Amino acid sequence: MKMSPEYTKAQANMQPGVITSDGFLGNDERPIVEIIADDEAEMKRASLEFDETVALMRHLLNESRKGLGEPVTVDGKWIVQAFEARGFLASPFEDGIFRKINAKVTLIHEGEPTEHSILYSDLSLHLIEKRHFFQGKGGSFRISPAAIKRVLFAD
């Protein structure tokens, strides 16, 4: 994939201070098309499907909201908690505006929470679903496919 004008504009929007104070790239200086290609390859190596992953993440985000800010146990596998703030965030691809909703998902093992968790926002979920973009390494809301596999699809 090449850096089309759309992706060049999106990468400019991802810089710190444009949409969010920290931006979307962390300390990752690669073009976003390289970040996306590497994460798509990592998803494939982990035997993860985007549709299945996004559907589960969306389900857990929706379940977390039912707790009204308190932790909720889902399917005996995860503890989920929603954090909501006032306002909205625009997609750096200029393809939507999203509520400031974050979900923390912690894996449960033998009835106890583990140290394995992921944190993602409604916008993060959109970026993964529509663009296969997990954000840059070192980013505040970066979720690696390996972390997703460990937390959501643990055996």
pLDDT, tens digit, for every residue of 47-95? Answer: 999 999 999 999 999 999 999 889 999 999 999 999 988 889 999 999 9
Q: Report residue 75: phi and psi, to 5°.
A: 55, 20
Q: Give the pLDDT confidence score for residue 109 in this predicted structure.
A: 92
Q: Give the pLDDT confidence score for residue 86 in this predicted structure.
A: 87
- The boundaries of the domain holding residue 17 are 5-152
Q: Give the pLDDT confidence score for residue 85 in this predicted structure.
A: 85
Q: Give the pLDDT confidence score for residue 30 in this predicted structure.
A: 95
Beta-carbon contacts of 83 under 8 Å, excluding residues fewer than 6 positions away, are: 69, 101, 102, 103, 104
Residue 143 reports pLDDT greater than 80: yes
Find the farthest-apart pair of alpha carbons in the chain and give their distance in angstroms, rounded: 49
d(CA 62, CA 83): 12
Beta-carbon contacts of 123 under 8 Å, excluding residues fewer than 6 positions away, are: 89, 91, 98
Runs of H (alpha helix) within the chain: 5-13, 32-45, 50-65, 122-131, 145-152
Q: Give the pLDDT confidence score for residue 148 in this predicted structure.
A: 96
Q: Are 71 and 35 in contact (CB under 8 A)?
A: no
Domain count within the chain: 1
Quick one: average pLDDT of 122-149? 94
d(CA 14, CA 99): 17
Residue 144: C-alpha distances to residues 79, 93, 148 (Å): 19, 20, 6
Residue 1 reports pLDDT greater than 90: no
Residue 106 reports pLDDT greater than 90: yes
